[in-house]
A = this chain, B = another copy of it.
Amino acid sequence: MTGTAGLIGVDWGTSNLRVMRIADGGRVLDSRSDSRGAGGLTSDQFHGVLQDVAGDWLAEGLPILCCGMAGARSRWREMAYLPCPADVGDLATAVASPRDAPRVSIVPGVAVYEDDRLQDVVRGEETQVFGLDAPDEALVVGPGTHSKWIRTSQGRMTGFRTFMTGELFAAIRKGTILGADMGEPGVDDDAFAAGVDRALRDPALTAALFSVRVEGLAGRLSAASAADYLSGLLIGAEVAAQTDARDRPVILIGAEVLCRRYAAALARGGFHDVRIADGAAATARGLWRIHEAVSR
């Protein structure tokens, strides 16, 4: 895309890095990815990796704003979590630079506290949330290894919960009897729906998981479809925990295949307004909006 860049945006995840040239309003002009995620770097390595990936862009002299795991403990610079509720202005006030790169600003993560006790944390999703044009009283869902269900109200993040869905799915497949002979997910929508429905009516997840085996014994679930059923159970358990927010519009951000599965599960749970948003575009727009708020 053509246009004049006003910001270099950096989305530094645990296992992946993305650097973007961002134009006015948050449009991505150009982007580059690298596998050197924050999870494998020590604090003195970040600046070198960024130079390596986008040294020519950095030379343009634009401001650089970074979200994600670069701000985690033992990474580039530890950024304290900002408490919920939080909005773009709160994030902008709290950005700070690593010692070895004063031109770089890092966006803090956001935390939920209850009775002054830390209850949950995000790093990166807060930037995406502020890049969405979410309706009032929305629910923003970022499916994945650690799925985030974030509630927003009038432009503020008001609370969220993290579900270990993706990581549990992998651990169950690899480390339990349920994974024996299990195929890949994505082949049987009916098995997925059956798993979702089971989780919606059965709050005892560790017992419901055993139904993967029983359904197989009973001849109602083939090995080829078992991964879809298991995925349905785990995603259904997330939806079941959020049914009090059933009347909120939901915005899904993440890989499209996964978002479509969540959309199907949400529909079964009685959510009636579910949209899928482009996560990369939301991150860029969120970085731009935080940058604008910093500059004000």
Chain A contacts to B: CB under 8 angstroms: 73, 117-121, 146, 161-165, 167-168, 170-172, 174-178, 203-207, 209-211, 214, 217-218, 220, 234, 237-238, 240-241
Contacts and interface: CB of A to CB of B under 8 A. Distances in A.
A242 B25 CA distance: 54
Contacts of A214: 118-121
A223 to B, nearest CB: 14
Contacts of A168: 172, 176, 206, 209
A123 to B, nearest CB: 11
Nearest to A219: B118
5 nearest CB pairs, A to B: A171-B175, A204-B241, A118-B218, A162-B210, A163-B206
A121 B214 CA distance: 7
Contact of A210 (B117, B164, B176, B203): B164
Contacts of A119: 211, 214
A177 B172 contact: no
A207 B118 contact: no
A292 to B, nearest CB: 30
Contact of A176 (B118, B167, B234): B167
Contacts of A174: 171, 175
Contacts of A176: 164, 167-168, 171
23 contacts: A118-B214, A118-B217, A120-B214, A121-B214, A121-B217, A161-B204, A161-B207, A163-B207, A164-B207, A167-B176, A171-B171, A171-B172, A171-B174, A171-B176, A174-B175, A203-B241, A204-B241, A205-B205, A205-B206, A205-B237, A206-B234, A206-B237, A207-B241
A237 B207 CA distance: 9
Contacts of A172: 168, 171
